[in-house]
Every structure is written in C-alpha cells, then in structure tokens.
Amino acid sequence: MSSDGFSEAIHGLLPRIRERRAEIEEARQLPADLVRELTATGIFRMSVPKALGGGEGEFLDALRVIETLSAADGSTGWCAMLALGGGVVAGYMRDEGAREVFADPCLPMALVAEPAGAAQRTEGGVTVSGRWRFASGVTHSTWMVLGAVVMDGGAPRMTPHGPEIVHVFVPVDDVQIHDTWHVSGLCGTGSNDVSCQDLFVPESRIFSLFDPTGYRPEPLYQMPVLSQVAPAISAVALGIARAALDEVSELAQTKVPNMSMTPLSAKPVAQVEVARAEGELGAARSFLYDAVDDVWETVVGGEQPSMRQRALCRIASNQATEVAARVARTASTLAGSSSVYNTSSLQRHARDADVITHHFTQSPHVWEDAGRALLGLEPQAPLF
C-alpha cells in the first residue's frame, strides 16, 4: 500500500485522536479501542517484509505517516513510530522467528533498543535478565524487543567492536510491567519499565540491531539503523510542531490578549514570530526529508551510504527536533496565559516536543560526532 493509501486509511481517525488527547494523557497509555482502530488501518504492517505479509513500503512513506499521526497526538504518533520500527526488525531476524512473531503482521510491537539487560548463552538460545526503561507501547503490544549484553563468567563477552550485544523478541506476557511512567511529556505512550529474570529466548528470536550481516536484502532492511531511527523520531517532533503552529494561528484570529483591544493576529510580534516559525519548520523538514531520501536512493541502488551521508542524516534529525521543540514552545508562549491550563493543547505540544530532544539519538553529542565525520574523523559513538 502506498503512503497515500495508508494516509487515506488513517485520515478518518485523526479527528477522533485529536478529541481524545486529554484522555490519552490522563490514562498514560493509548486506549485499547483506539489501538484496535489503528491496527485495523493496516498501518503497523507498513514496514514488515512482504514475505511475511507486510507492506514493505518506502521509508519516506513511513515518515509521512508518523508525522501525520503525531500532528493529531504526539503520544499516538510516538507509539506508531515505535511499532513501525518493530516491523523493520522483522527484516533482521531468522525466518523462523520472524514468522512466529509476525504471524499477524498488523499488530503493533514495543521496542527497547538499549542493552540494559544481561544475556547468558545456553543450549538453543539465551536466558535474559534485567530491567528496561522506556518500553513505549508495552501496554498494548503482544511482543516486544529487549536489548542485552552477553555475559561470560560475570563479565561482558568482548568482540573486536566492544561487548557482544543481542536483541531478542519476547512475549509481553513474559515480562513484568512496572508503573513508572509519570513524566512531563509524551505522557500517553505508556513507556513503563519492564523486567524479567532468566527468561529463555530461543535462537530463532535472537538478532542484533548492530550487525547487518543477517539483514534481508530489500532496501528497507539495508538502511543504517540510526539513519532510520533518528529521522523517525524527528518526524514525531515535526508533526507535533505542525499542530502547535496551526493551532496558535487559528487561535490568533479570535484571541484578544489581556490589556489589548485587537486580536493576537493583528500584533506585529505575533506576525513576525509565526512567519519565522513557519520558515524554520519548513526548512528543517525539507532538510530532513532530503537527507533521508539521499540515503534511501543510495541503498535502493545497492550501495551503503557514505559516512558523510550518515552524518547529514543525523544533523538533519537533530536540527528538525530542536527546531520543532522551539516552534512548539513559541506557539505556546504566543497564546499567552491561557496555554498554561491543562485544557490547552498548546502546552501539551510544547511538553511533548521538549521530551523528544532528550532522546539519545537527538542529544548534543550527535553534533560533535557528525562534525567529526564531516571532517574525516571517526565518530566516537559506537553506533552512528
């Protein structure tokens, strides 16, 4: 299904998602009936390989869908983004395990990439123990990904590239969910902690996000991991900022600021700030999509992107996220004191966009590594 097809399928849901923003935030997770409606659109099969019954769409199509959903509600867009990432993981797995996990390719997944757990090699697989934070979407998923460091004699098993890291798919029913998600933004993502102890995972459900040798040959599964993850996260921020800017522009037509006789739209400062925000957001969005498209076309051509292409993709992602947070904050500030109330979606947009700037793929050190790459030096991060 093309991006237009997916967009058409979810278009009817967008007003209902917007209407339920406050409910989603208060519940701190997506409502079950809304997840069912999203699942029915087929959106979550968009990144699953065709060989498994998925859509295997182009990556830019996924970004547009994530952005569209995030403009309706940041938490919904974030959960959709993680679920689509889970679909990509199907391309990194052994066929046996992929067919087990993606028996129904339409179902959403939860994914924690951080190797916060410990794995012990055992006959037929590994046993995994640990506690993981930020398990977005775990409250409405059947399967989830967990990352772990392989241990040997109480110490990490080392490889030429550092500790051996594996990722595993496990049933959500096999982990304990801890109610920890009390946060400042993206409150409705249900990103609680999860834990398990000596959970056996068969070899068929073990893979590595950091080792491309087992990836499927199709372009979607040949893209560098962070050239997918970072832009997808930025797409959530762009959608949130788009909603904030649209909403303050509409509000400005009728809102008369305190101690004023004219509507906000007549204020020169509002006119300048809205114009600047549109320019910044549009430029950041274009840079992101251009950088991702360049990487995508290279992969489609059967080659791996250069370090410069990867660096520009990371730069564009950081730029988009930072600009989006600034635009959402500006929109909330322009709205005046009324935006501080929980009934205002503008304060929610500002909080949601700010949280995204804290993600490790968008952190300040990315600028340093990207600059190193552009100047012919190796990035310091083990995964770039």
pLDDT for 218 equals 95
Q: Are 190 and 30 in contact (CB under 8 A)?
A: yes
Q: Are 44 and 217 in contact (CB under 8 A)?
A: no
Q: Which residues contact 281 (CB under 8 A, 6 or more apart)?
A: 238, 241, 242, 245, 323, 324, 327
Core vs surface per residue 57-79: b (16+ CB within 10 A) or e: bbbebbbbbbbbbbbbbbbbbbb
Q: Which two tokens stand for residue 112?
A: 């924690």
What is the mean predicted confidence (pLDDT) over 78-106?
Answer: 95
What is the mean predicted confidence (pLDDT) over 29-56?
Answer: 95
Q: Are 110 and 139 in contact (CB under 8 A)?
A: no
- For the entire predicted model, the pTM comes to 0.96
What share of the chain has pLDDT > 70, as a percent?
A: 98
pLDDT for 154 equals 87
pLDDT for 212 equals 64
> d(Cα 312, Cα 295) in Å, to the nearest integer?
9
Give me the long-range contacts of 211-214 (CB less than 8 A, separation at least 24). Answer: 214/92, 214/93, 214/94
What is the mean predicted confidence (pLDDT) over 302-314?
Answer: 97
Q: Are 204 and 94 in contact (CB under 8 A)?
A: yes
Phi, psi of 290 (to 5 degrees): -65, -45
Q: Summarize pLDDT for 110-154 with one digit per residue, the tens.
A: 999 999 999 999 999 999 999 999 999 999 999 999 999 999 988
> d(Cα 241, Cα 280) in Å, to the nearest integer?
11
Q: Which residues contact 286 (CB under 8 A, 6 or more apart)?
A: none
pLDDT for 215 equals 83
pLDDT mean across residues, the chain: 94
Q: Which residues contact 346 (CB under 8 A, 6 or more apart)?
A: 244, 247, 248, 251, 328, 331, 332, 335, 339
Asked if pLDDT for residue 217 goes beyond 60, the answer is yes
Per-residue confidence band for 5, with pLDDT thresholds at 50, 70 and 90: low
pLDDT for 108 equals 95
Per-residue confidence band for 2, with pLDDT thresholds at 50, 70 and 90: very low
Of 69, 89, 101, 281, give the one whose Cα is nearest residue 188.
Answer: 69
Per-residue confidence band for 381, with pLDDT thresholds at 50, 70 and 90: confident
Q: Are 128 and 119 in contact (CB under 8 A)?
A: yes
Of 6, 128, 130, give the one whose Cα is nearest residue 65.
Answer: 6
Q: Which residues contact 302 (CB under 8 A, 6 or more apart)?
A: none
> d(Cα 37, Cα 215) in Å, to the nearest integer?
31
Q: Are 324 and 240 in contact (CB under 8 A)?
A: yes
- Comparing 303 with 3, the larger pLDDT belongs to 303
* Max avg pLDDT among 207-211, 368-372, 379-383: 368-372
pLDDT for 7 equals 62
What share of the chain has pLDDT > 90, as a percent?
A: 91
What is the mean predicted confidence (pLDDT) over 361-374?
Answer: 96
What is the mean predicted confidence (pLDDT) over 19-44?
Answer: 96
- Comparing 278 with 258, the larger pLDDT belongs to 278
Q: Are 284 and 231 in contact (CB under 8 A)?
A: no
What is the mean predicted confidence (pLDDT) over 344-357?
Answer: 97
Looking up tokens 């110490």 gives: 155
Of 126, 114, 124, give the one whose Cα is nearest residue 194.
Answer: 114
> d(Cα 108, Cα 146) in Å, to the nearest integer?
15
